[in-house]
Amino acid sequence: MGLEVKNIVAGYTREVPILNGVNLTAQDGRVTVILGPNGAGKSTLLKTIYGYLTPQEGEVLHDGKRIQDLKPNQMLGEGIAYLLQGHSVFPRMTVEENLELGGWIMRGDQKRMQTALDFVYARFPRLREKRSFLAGILSGGEQRMLEIARLTMTGPRTILLDEPSVGLMPSLVDEVYEEISKLKDERYTILMVDQNVRKSMSIADYVYALALGENRYEGPREEMEKKLDDIVREWI
């Protein structure tokens, strides 16, 4: 099951498709990594999966259900969470408010909300300490942790990550990857894009390489690691 992308053609305008027939499967409970040079269409692919862009052709299935006609705000309800590229905390709201918004779709259920908050705080004690700080004044690494924590509030099955480690100091990069490994251990289905090729390969189960909006290579991690030098050379 997991997430299946079948022959997707999509773009920002009708005339210029960015994705020209991409195929991809993110297996249940596995980490799937998408590699590709800048501008290959990786973010565009995630946005299309999440309903920001409507595909002109093709299908997106989540656990066997067609989801390409759904809107972005319906995706979390389908069990798919999404970490956007760049900053996505609400800077002028507190850490706790940010987390509560992560649970927006279960806002009627105060008990479930509290359980989720307790769970997240247990896992990220630093966020509990800073719960009443405005998110905008947290450090870059703390903001990224808050974003990741916020993704898990509703207990989704699948998580899309767009460049989770970009722009962070090396020590923080390790921290972020530790968190992603934990998510992997908790059997989330993860589909991830990252500039940090080696790091992301190290936790990947299966890897795709895109170029110019098309599949270029794919394979299990071990196989792709051998080809890696060739792949990266092609980008330059």
Partner 1 sequence: MDFSLLLDPYILTEVLVQGFVRGAMYALMAAGLSLIFGIMGVKNFGHGELFMLGAYAMFFVTVVLGWPWPVGIAVAAVALFIFGMLLERTLIDTLRRKAGRDWVLDAFILTIGILVVLQNLALILFGTSRRGVTSLIDGVLVWGPVIVSYERLMILGVASLVGLSLWAFIRFSSLGKAIRAASQNPEAAQTLGIDIRLIYTVTFGIGAALAGLAGGLLISIYPAHPTVGFEPVIKSLACVILGGLGNVPGAILAALLLGVIEAYSAFFMSAGWQNVITAGLVVLILIVRPSGLFSSSKVERA
Ligand X SMILES: Nc1ncnc2c1ncn2[C@@H]1O[C@H](COP(=O)(O)OP(=O)(O)O)[C@@H](O)[C@H]1O
Q: Does residue 97 belong to the site contacting partner 1 (CB under 8 A)?
A: yes
Whole-number Å distance between alpha carbons of 180 and 159: 10
By CB under 8 A, residue 96 contacts partner 1: no
Closest to partner 1 by CB, 134 vs 201, is 134
Give 144 or 150: the residue with its C-beta nearer to partner 1: 150
**101 within 8 A of 81, measured Cβ to Cβ:** no
Residue closer to Mg ion, measured from CB, 26 or 127: 26
Binding test (CB under 6 A) with ligand X, winner from 8, 10, 26, 41 = 41
Q: Does 137 bind partner 1 (CB under 8 A)?
A: no
Among ligand X, partner 1, Mg ion, none, the one that 36 touches (CB under a kind-dependent 5 to 8 A) is ligand X
Q: Residue 12 interacts with ligand X (CB under 6 A)?
A: yes
CB 18 within 8 A of CB 206: no
Residue 69 sits at φ, ψ, to 5 deg, of -95, 0
Whichever of 142 and 194 has its CB closer to Mg ion, that residue is 194
Of the candidates 100, 73, 230, 214, the residue with the CA atom closest to the CA atom of residue 154: 100
Task: Report d(CA 236, CA 234) in Å as an integer.
Answer: 6
C-beta separation of 19 from 44 below 8 A:
yes
Residues forming contacts to Mg ion in the complex (CB under 5 A) are: 43, 85
